[in-house]
Structure 1
Amino acid sequence: MSQIGKKIPEFKTMGYSPKKEEFIEITNKDFEGKWTVLMFYPADFTFVCPTELEDMQGQYAKLQELGVEVYSMSTDTHFVHKAWHDHSEAISKLEFTMLADPHKSITRDFDVLDEEPGLAQRATFIIDPDGIIQTVEINADGIGRDASQVYDKIRAAQFVRNNPGEVCPAKWKETGETLTPGLDLVGKI
């Protein structure tokens, strides 16, 4: 069942904030009023995951300029996140908060829990300031994500939100043309 257009579930969890160098509590209320990227990944101390999180860190400053906050989440504890941050060259670069879901309830509520191993799937959610899911991307375990695509999707989602009645075609960039759906376009694209 699609999650697009749905409100994110209520949750409360602990996370490790590399910026503050401390453990913090985060709830769904912390997502309100700003754009949010929630990036689920299978596990700390693995192989593809650090490359993805490091890649997201490479986009973090640009996303922050757009008013976007980024969170990563796995079914590890916040203690394991801190240990990984302290021992991995790639993860030590992170500035965004790493959320913990050891009870697997949040991962299950977002419908991205791979039940058999008890790990999160490789999923990225873009959530608007009202807590509504605008995009979801889920990849197979062995396929890493490209954070630059998240940046492009955020720009398009923000444009559509701020320009009712207009839509962004494929490969849209901020300076590109948009479309205004109507009878005059039917069969002409």
Structure 2
Amino acid sequence: MLTVGDKFPSFDLTAVPGGPEGLKGEFVQISDKSDAGKWKIVFFWPKDFTFVCPTEIVAFGKLAKDFADRDAVVYGVSIDSEFVHLNWRLHHEDLKGLQIPMLADIKRELTEGTGVMAKDAGVALRATFVVDPQGIIRHVSVNDLSVGRNPQEIVRILDGLQSDELCPCNWKQGDDFIKV
């Protein structure tokens, strides 16, 4: 599995865009070159039409503006096709207003390239990568398939990384930094 300091892999995936455009059935291409110069939050979920996944996707979507305020974009990725993503958005009430794109990694290239494929399940683990504008992984976390993650913690980590300071345990934006 890729870790902090590694270069995030190149990718070029078809996606259901976020916002109202995502409900129109028109797809977009998103690559590692998209949103150049921005921080990227790339999170993986196992598969569509499941139970824990929409809670995480919706939570990341609700924080899209908070990430944008920090010059960051959020990409959600699973091994499902763009058609499955679209169908899920159209038929899951909580996903209809989703503000982030859903990327289709049907060939599993990005999932395998990052090393987050669950060995026995054939789907991605619940992995989250924070990637800086130079494409370097600055944070990675992975949860078991049965446990959802906390997107608000990713906002906190992004704040700390962007501060370029030493941040103590439970630090949050506005708190004091560690002075050496």
On whether the aligned pair clears a TM of 0.5, the verdict is yes
The Cα shift of 1:92 comes to 1.2
The equivalent residue for 1:142 is 146
Structure possessing the higher radius of gyration over alpha carbons: 1
Choose from 48, 58, 61 the match for 1:44: 48
The Cα shift of 1:57 comes to 1.5
Name the CA distance, whole Å, in 2 between partners of 1:12 and 1:105: 10
The Cα shift of 1:137 comes to 0.9
Deviations 1:31-62 (A, max 9, x none): 53101110100000000000111111121111
Q: How does 1:75-114 map to 2 (within 5 A)?
A: 75-114=79-118
The Cα shift of 1:2 comes to 5.2
Name the CA distance, whole Å, in 2 between partners of 1:86 and 1:70: 20
Q: Give percent identity, aligned residues only.
A: 35
Contiguous gaps of at least 5 residues in structure 1:
161-165, 182-189
Cα RMSD for the two superposed structures: 1.4
The equivalent residue for 1:4 is 4
Name the CA distance, whole Å, in 2 between partners of 1:2 and 1:110: 5
Structure-1-length-normalised TM-score: 0.88
Instruction: Kindly indicate whether the alpha-carbon contact (under 8 Å) linking 1:31 and 1:131 is maintained by their aligned counterparts in 2.
Output: no
The equivalent residue for 1:15 is 15
The Cα shift of 1:7 comes to 1.0
Instruction: Kindly indicate whether the alpha-carbon contact (under 8 Å) linking 2:36 and 2:133 is maintained by their aligned counterparts in 1.
Output: yes
3-state SS of paired residue (2:63)? helix
Deviations 1:55-98 (A, max 9, x none): 11121111111111001000000111111000001211211110
In structure 2, the CA distance between the partners of 1:120 and 1:2, relative to structure 1 (3 Å rule), is closer
Structure-2-length-normalised TM-score: 0.92
Name the CA distance, whole Å, in 2 between partners of 1:4 and 1:80: 32
Return structure 1 stretches of 4+ with deviation > 6 angstroms: none
Contiguous gaps of at least 5 residues in structure 2:
none
Aligned length: 176
Instruction: Kindly indicate whether the alpha-carbon contact (under 8 Å) linking 2:52 and 2:146 is maintained by their aligned counterparts in 1.
Output: yes
